[in-house]
Amino acid sequence: MAAMTLADFTTSLTGTQPPADPALAALWWDARDDWQAAHEHVQRDEGNPACDWVHAYLHRKEGDLSNARYWYRNAGRPAASGSLEQEWHAIVAALTGAQEEQHKA
């Protein structure tokens, strides 16, 4: 199965079903303001660096910075310092390969 592109993910946000990828599914649920569903998706795949990164973002959004730092470490990522919106977009771009596409252009 091919990886989801940024365009595919953006289109999925208007649909009724989240992407199959658990990290992207969590971001999909977060975009719908359902923190609990988003959190459940990343918890199902703990140890997956992408899910751990989204897990960190979700706890940062929740305001639990200590827990967020734990998940950033597990994901091998520095703790985010920009806005939550910027981080959400950065994670989506990284998980859909949009960052690599920008570098090729």
Q: How many CA atoms lie within 13 A of 85 on its CB side?
A: 0
Instruction: Record the pTM.
Output: 0.88
pLDDT per position as a tens digit, 8-52: 888 888 989 999 899 999 999 999 999 999 999 999 999 999 999
Q: Which residues, 6 or more positions from 25, have their beta carbon under 8 angstroms from its beta carbon?
A: 18, 19, 41
Each residue of 85-97: pLDDT tens digit?
999 999 999 999 8
